[in-house]
Amino acid sequence: DNEMTLRRNKSQLEVKMSETEHEPLTCLLRPRAHSTSHMATLQLINDFHKLTGQSDIEEDEEGEKHADQIASEIEQNEQLMDDTPLAEKLRMEALREMPQNLTVKRTVKVKLSNSVSMKSKHRPISCWKLSKYQIGIFFSRLHLTMRDVFSSWELWYSSLKEIEGHFGSGVAAYFKFLRWLFFMNLFVCIISVSFVVIPNVVQRRADAQNRSSSLIELISSVPDQIHRPVEDMDYNATDKPAPAYFKLGHFLTGEGYFTNSSLYYGYYTSLSHIKENVSNNYSIPKAYFITALLSYFFTFFIISVGMAGSYRKSFIETSGGIKNIYAHKVFCGWDFSIATERAAKLKSDSLARELKELMEEDARAVLRQSDWCHELYVKCVR
């Protein structure tokens, strides 16, 4: 009996082992009986994945909307939306200069590519257009290269770079503005001397000599007549005699030797014009008026162009508001032209102070909102 029982148990064990060997996948797919704690843990994990999935979806939707806004703004520019290599290069440069993360840039690039492909007629580019685009790209690259080369030849370039390295680009911008004013005044000085001072001096020289002179002789006499006193001419602009000697103080104050010279309005009269023949008269009053008008218009045009560029960068391109302002301050707020440790320390303190001010403004906004809610609650209770 014992022997028969052992044989029966052995045969049953072999059958179970064979069933287990032949059905490995069935064992894996068969649901197991879980304990209560295990099921609770699985439920918490599933809930966590659902919450994180919802937050990721919300962030993706917000980034998608932001990318749609940027793409719609770029699509309004017809020059950027052409199906040409030059337009593609301009689109890449515009995307590269955007202060956005890589995900937004990649999404905008895909949307723009789809828009361009939908608008294009899918026709191959002819050899003439291809050569024209290549020539345009070549000249644009040449322009950028020449601009980089000639930028180092600017007036006071090394001095401004040294100031920028020690004190930052904000201080250097003030001196660049002074350089711009110097060039503006230099232009006004050149046209005033060319069309008012030199013709007036030449006319006075011709009247003093009382003879006809050639143009070369008249121009060669200009340096001698620039500081010539008016009392030596046929008509005097002022009754005050000018001293014949020169002092250093006259150069600093503009008085004395320079009183009756071409540096002052008293040197010029409304009767100055060349009388060699009637058809070629040169009126000094008209020349002065036209020169002043041209100077004002040129200055107004230059200032308007500069203001339009600044307005476009400061307001139009950022019309949607600055997003992720803390990321901008941290990753884009550093001045890489700084070259000294002291300037770097000052810039670091400035950035830290700006971040503190931004956080204080956010805290004040939250506090104002909570105070408003509290006041509304108190009024409702009353």
Average pLDDT for 39-65: 50
Q: How confident is the model at residue 8 (pLDDT cuts 50, 70, 90)?
A: low
Alpha carbon separation from 208 to 79, 202, 214, 230 (Å, rounded): 63, 10, 15, 11
pLDDT of amino acid 179: 92
pLDDT at residue 243, as a whole number? 54
pLDDT at residue 18 tops 60: no
The arithmetic mean of pLDDT across residues 256-262, rounded, is 73
Mean pLDDT across the chain: 71
- For the ranges 71-75, 167-171, 276-280, the lowest mean pLDDT is seen at 276-280
Q: What local confidence, expressed as pLDDT, does residue 201 receive?
A: 81
Place of tokens 């060039």: 183
What are the residues whose beta carbons fall under 8 Å from the beta carbon of 329, sequence distance 6 or more? 351, 354, 355, 358
Per-residue pLDDT tens digits for 21-40: 444 433 433 444 444 444 44
Whole-model pTM: value is 0.48
> Quick check: 354 and 329 in contact, CB under 8 A?
yes
For 213-222, write each residue's pLDDT tens digit.
Answer: 455 555 566 5
List residues bridging with 61 in a β-sheet: none
Asked if residues 213 and 219 have their Cβ atoms less than 8 Å apart, the reply is no
Question: DSSP states of 151-213 as a string?
Answer: HTTSTTHHHHHHHHHHH-HHHHHHHHHHHHHHHHHHHHHHHHIIIIIHHHHHHHHHHHHTS--
104 and 74 in contact (C-beta within 8 Å)?
no
Spatial contact of 63 and 107, defined as CB atoms under 8 Å apart: yes
CA distance 10 to 90: 82
Note the pLDDT of residue 332: 81
Least confident of 37-51, 57-71, 135-149, 247-261: 37-51
Distance, CA of 84 to CA of 134 (rounded, Å) = 10
Q: Which amino acid is at 22?
A: H
Q: Once rounded to an integer, what is the mean pLDDT over residues 149-174? A: 82
Q: Residue 312 has what DSSP assignment?
A: I
pLDDT in tens, 272-312: 455 555 456 778 888 888 999 999 999 999 999 988 888 88
Residues whose CB falls within 8 Å of the CB of residue 99, separated by 6 or more in sequence, listed in order: 328, 332
Which 3 state secondary structure label does DSSP give 26? helix
Weakest-pLDDT range from 77-91, 148-162, 220-234, 337-351: 220-234
Does the pLDDT at position 47 exceed 70?
no
- Taking only the tens place, the pLDDT of each residue in 179-232 is 999 999 999 899 988 988 888 888 777 666 655 445 555 556 655 555 555 444
Answer left, alpha or beta for residue 268, where phi above 0 means left and psi between -120 and 50 means alpha. Answer: beta
Cα four-point dihedral sign 214, 216, 222, 228: negative
Task: Say if residue 331's pLDDT is above 80.
Answer: yes
Beta bridge partners of 283: 273
Tokens for 75, please give them. Answer: 């699509």
The rounded distance, in Å, linking the Cα atoms of 42 and 45 is 5
Q: How far apart are the first and last CA of the chain?
A: 95
Length of the chain: 382
